[in-house]
Structure 1
Amino acid sequence: MTIHIVEDDPGVSDSLVLLLRSLGHHAIAYPDAETFFRQEPPCAGDTIIIDLLLPGISGAKVIRWLQRLANPPAIIAISGQPQSAIEAQFRGMAMPRLLRKPLTEDVITQELR
């Protein structure tokens, strides 16, 4: 399993990669959706951790694309936005698991069990 992290804040993405690798996971970070889309599509056994507020293509648009794959990966959205703004982005589609920023090691490790 690979954990793909799509996050534009280098501090957050670097911290997530270090944490996930220390837990024995294969983790790759992408600074934006466009870079993520240039790679092979994720496998069904992969996990995507994606910030909703990305430059360029939004996290919600990436999630919409991932959910339409024949065998979608697990998706975890991360955001520090107000709940109403998050709900507006997912109107008319399935809401993925959501983790609120700031993230903690405990929250991440619980989510990946």
Structure 2
Amino acid sequence: MRIHIIEDDLAVSDALATVLSVLGHAPLCYPDAESFLAEPAPDSEDLVIVDLGLPGIGGEEVVRRLELSEEPPRVIVISGHSKSKLERKLPQFASMTVLRKPLSFPALAEHLN
């Protein structure tokens, strides 16, 4: 499993990458959706951690594009908004894992497998 982190806040991205490295993963980090989408699509076994508040192409659009894949990867959405607010605004997030910032790394670790 490859883990892709799409996060424009370098401090958040770096912290995620550090924690995931300690847990035995080698995450790939992208500062924006455009650089992520320019790479080969993730496999169905992969995990994509995406911030909804990205500049340019937003996290919502990344999630929509991933959902259109033949075999979409697993997605964890990260956001400063509450899950209930996201569910009201974007019903498709109701079935996804949504982690609020600031992130709880034990909560993240729970969702890796």
Q: TM-score, normalised by structure 1?
A: 0.91
Q: Distance in 1 between matches of 2:106 and 2:10?
A: 20
Give the length in aligned residue pairs: 112
Note the C-alpha offset of 1:108.
Answer: 1.0
Counterparts in 2 of 1:59 and 1:12: CA distance versus 1, 3 Å = same
Q: CA RMSD in A?
A: 1.5
User: Would you say 1:5 and 2:20 are equivalent positions?
Assistant: no
Q: What stretches of structure 1 of length at least 5 have no aligned partner?
A: none
Aligned to 1:24: 24
Aligned 1:52-91 pairs, distance under 5 A? 52-83=52-83, 85-91=85-91
Counterparts in 2 of 1:73 and 1:97: CA distance versus 1, 3 Å = same
- Given that 1:2 and 1:25 are in contact with CA atoms closer than 8 Å, whether structure 2 keeps it comes out as yes
Q: Distance in 1 between matches of 2:97 and 2:86?
A: 12
Q: Deviations over 1:12-65 (max 9, x none)?
A: 000101110111112011000001011000011000000001000110110000
- List structure 1 runs of 4+ shifted beyond 3 angstroms: 82-85
